[in-house]
Structure 1
Amino acid sequence: MIVKDFGRPSYDTAGSITKKRRLVRMMRYCLTQLARLGLTLQVLKTAFAAGLAWLVALLIPGSSYPVFAPLAAILTMQVTIADSIEKGVYRVLGVIVGVTVGGAIGSYFAVNTVTIFFAILLGISASTAFRLNPQITSQVGVSTLLVLVYGQTNGYILGRIWETMIGSLVAVLLNIAISPPQASVAARQAVVASIRQLMLVLEHMLDAPTDTEGSLLEARRMVTRIEKEHLQIIQTAHGFRYTPFQRRERKAMFELVLLINRVEHISIQIRGIARSLVDLHSLPGQTYDFSSVLKDVRLCLLIFARAVAANDVEAKEAAVMAVREMRANFSQYYYALQHEADTAPEVGAIFSDLGRILDEIEDKFPALNAQAAGSGRLFPGIDISANE
C-alpha cells in the first residue's frame, strides 16, 4: 500500500518553486542594474510608447513621417495614469487649435517674420482669452508654428491631429497596462516616515523644554511636509482609478490615503500642543511639566508606526492596548492638575490635542472599544471644556 504525503510538496513542485524564486531574484537584480544606468521603468515605457506610436501612425494613409505621434507619446507619458490622461487631453486640444490657426493663416499669407509673429500672437491670445490651461497654450504656439512652416500640403492638418491622438492614446493605454509596481509599499513607507518625523518633534519638546519657539517651528514644518505627502499619495491613488488591473493595489492605495489623512490631523494636533507650550512659557510664575505625557504620546506614535508598517493583527492589538493605557495615564495626570489653583486654559487645550491624537489612532482600528468621548469630554470622567 502506497501512502502519499500531501503535507509536503513533491520534488518536482519544490524544484519549480525554487526556479521561480531564482527567476524573480534575477529579474529584480536586472531591474536594479538597469535603474543604476538610468533605464528606469518610466524611461523604458516612454521609449516604447514613442516607437509604438510611430508604428501605429504609419497605418494612416499618407503618413510617411508621423513625427507628431511619437512626440505626443513622449509628452503624454507621465508617472501616474491620471497625469497621462490630463497631458493627453491638453496635447490634443492644443494641436487642434494650433493647426487650425496655422493652417488658416498659411493658406492666405506667405511665411515670413510678420506672418509668424501674428500667427503665434493670434493662437496664444485666443487660448488665453478662453482661459485654457497654460500647457494647452504652449502647445498651441508650437503647433501653429509647425503647420505654418511645413503644413501647406493637402491633408497635413488633419493628419497631424490624427497622429497626436494616436500618440496620446498609445501613451495612456501603455501606462494603464504597465503601472508602477508596488506603489502602496512606497506610500506605506512614506506614511511611517511621517509618523517617525512627528516623534522627532516630540523629542525636541522633551530635550529642549525651554525652546518652545523652536518646537513650534519644527511642528509647522512637519505639517507642511505631511500635507505635501498627503497630496502626492492622493495623486498616486487616483491614477489607479483608470486601470482595470491591480485591484488589490488600488484598494491599498485608497486605504493609505485615509491613513495619511489621519497622520496629517495628528501633525496639526502636535502643532497645537507646541503653540500652547509657547503660550504657557510666556506666563510669569507658572511652570508645568508635561514630559510624562509627551513621552507617553511619543511611545504611542512609535507603536502606531510599527502597526502601520507591519500591518498585522498583533501590531494592531499592541496599538489598541497603547491607546487604552495612554488614555488612563492622561486622565490621572489631568485630574491631578485640576486640583491645582489657577490652572491655565492652555493646559486644557494641550490635553484636548492629546485626546484628539488618541482619537485618530483609535478610529484607525475599529476593534478598539469606544471610550467616553463627546463634546468637551475627551477623557473618561473629566470635563476639559471647563478650562477652555
Structure 2
Amino acid sequence: MNEGLQDRLEKFGLSLYMIRVTLAASLSWLAVHTLYGDSYLYFAPLAAILITQGSVKASLEKGVYRMTGIVLGGIVSLVVGRFFDVGALSILLMLLIGIGVATACRINIQAISQVGVTSVLALTFYNDHYIEWRVAETLIGVVIALIINMIIVPPKGFVKVKGLALEGGLLLADALSGQTGGGREAIQAGDALTRSASLLAKSELQQKELHYTLTHYHCRNELRGLTQTTAHLKKIHSYVKEIRAEIALLPAHYAAADWMAEVVTATADCIALYGTKTLSDAECQRSLPESLRRARDLQLAWFSELQGQCSLTSIRDLGAVFSHLNRVLEEIEQADYVVMSAAPQKAKAGAAHAVRFIQKGLSHKL
C-alpha cells in the first residue's frame, strides 16, 4: 500500500485495521460460499472479524483460542445432546462439564468463554450438523485473517519504527542532560522524558505488527535487533526517570552544580551515541567505548572528591544519583556488546550465503 494513500484513507477513518477486517471478512464469506454454498455462511466472516488483531502473532493466538473453544464446546455438546433434550438441565450439565474441563486444563479465558458459547449453540442446532460447519468455516476464517494480516502491512513500516525508536532515544538523552537545569529547562526535560516514553512505546507496538509479515521477512534479523535495542532504551528510560526523581530531592546547590551538569551530560552523550550508532546510518565521529569510559571516570572522580566535602546525608542522596547514572552506562555497555557480538555472526552468515551462491553458479557451468 502506498504511504500517501494510507495517510489520505486514515483521514476518512479507513485505518489499516479496518482494511484488514473488511478484506478478511469479505474473502472468508466468498471462500465459504464457493466451497459449500449457502450453509452457515456467517461463521467464517465472524471468525475473521473477531481474530484480526494488530499483529500476526496476536491474531494467531486468538485464532487458536477460538478454535480450541469451538472444538471442546462441540465435543461436550455432542455428548450431552445424545442423552438430553435442549433445556435448563442439559445446558447446566454441558456448561459445567465444558467450562470445568477447560478451567482444569488451564486454558486461556478467551477459549473458556468460547466453550460456553459453542456448547449452547451446538446443542440448539444439534440435528443440523452445526458443529461440523462451525469448525470448518471458523478454520477458513482464521486462515484467511492470518494471511491478510501477513500481507496488509504499513508502508515503509521498518523505516518508520526505526525512526521512532531513534527519536525516542535522542529525546531520552536530551531529557537526561536537562535534569540539572532549573525552571523552564527542567520542565522541558520532563516533557522530553514523557515524549520519549511515548515514542519508544509506539515503536515497540508497531514492531510487533511487522513480525511474521511477508514484506518484512527479508529484514527479520534487523527487526529482531531493533526490538532488543528498544527494550534496552526503555530500561534506560526507567533509570533516567529515577535520576530525575533523585535530583529533584537534592539541594539546589548540588543539583545545579557545574560538576553535576558535567557528569550528567557525559552520560546523556552515551545514550545519544548508542542510539545514533545502532539506529542510524550516520557515521559517528566518537567511539562509544571511549565515551562510556570517560563518563565512568567522571562519575568516579567527582564522587570520590565529594566524599571529602559533603556530609553523610548528602553523600547518601548523591550516591543514589550516581548509582543510577552508573546503571545507565552498564545498560548501554551491555546493549552495545550484544550488537557487536551479533555483527560477526551476521557477516559469517552473509559469507556462507555468498559461498553457496558461487558454488551453485559453478555447478551450473560445469
Would you say same fold, with TM above 0.5?
A: yes
Shift of 1:77: 1.6
Amino acid across the alignment from 1:52: L
Mapped pair 1:191 → 2:165:
yes
Amino acid across the alignment from 1:183: G
Shift of 1:81: 0.9
Gaps of 5+ in 1: 1-23, 370-388
Residue 58 of structure 1 aligns to a residue whose secondary structure is helix
Change (3 A) 1:354 1:39: same
Aligned to 1:19: none
Alpha-carbon distance in structure 2 between the residues aligned to 1:207 and 1:140: 59
Shift of 1:136: 0.3
Amino acid across the alignment from 2:165: V
Mapped pair 1:317 → 2:285:
yes
Aligned to 2:306: 337
Alpha-carbon distance in structure 2 between the residues aligned to 1:96 and 1:144: 9
Alpha-carbon distance in structure 1 between the residues aligned to 2:174 and 2:151: 39
Residue 127 of structure 2 aligns to a residue whose secondary structure is coil
One of 352, 357, 360 as aligned partner of 2:328: 357
One of 6, 21, 26 as aligned partner of 1:46: 21
Deviations 1:333-355 (A, max 9, x none): 44643664767255455445434
Mapped pair 1:30 → 2:5:
yes
Alpha-carbon distance in structure 2 between the residues aligned to 1:329 and 1:335: 10
Deviations 1:329-382 (A, max 9, x none): 54654464366476725545544543443454456557x99xxxxxxxxxxxxx
Shift of 1:33: 1.9
Alpha-carbon distance in structure 2 between the residues aligned to 1:131 and 1:280: 50
Aligned to 1:256: 226
Moved more, 155-164 or 53-62: 53-62
Gaps of 5+ in 2: 341-366
Change (3 A) 1:47 1:275: closer
Deviations 1:111-137 (A, max 9, x none): 345544544444333322322111001
Shift of 1:162: 1.1
Aligned to 1:246: 216
Aligned to 1:9: none
Deviations 1:260-279 (A, max 9, x none): 23213323433454565477
Aligned to 1:125: 100
Change (3 A) 1:345 1:207: same
Conserved? CA contact 1:76–1:168, under 8 Å: yes
Change (3 A) 1:122 1:292: same
Question: TM-score under structure 1 normalisation?
Answer: 0.68
Mapped pair 1:172 → 2:146:
yes
Mapped pair 1:67 → 2:42:
yes
Conserved? CA contact 1:107–1:152, under 8 Å: no
The alignment-based identity, stated in percent, is 27
Shift of 1:49: 1.4
Mapped pair 1:90 → 2:43:
no
Residue 317 of structure 1 aligns to a residue whose secondary structure is coil
Shift of 1:75: 1.5
Conserved? CA contact 1:182–1:249, under 8 Å: no
Higher RCO, 1 vs 2 (CA within 8 Å, ≥6 residues apart): 2
Deviations 1:167-189 (A, max 9, x none): 11121122223344333334324
Conserved? CA contact 1:103–1:152, under 8 Å: no
Mapped pair 1:137 → 2:105:
no
Aligned to 1:17: none
- Superposed, 1:254-333 pairs within 5 Å as 254-274=224-244, 277=247, 281=251, 289=257, 290-302=260-272, 304-305=274-275, 311-314=280-283, 316-318=284-286, 320=288, 323=292, 326=295, 329-330=298-299, 333=302
Deviations 1:298-341 (A, max 9, x none): 455455555566x1242x33474755664565465446436647
Aligned to 2:155: 181
Q: Matched residue pairs, number? A: 331
Change (3 A) 1:152 1:338: same
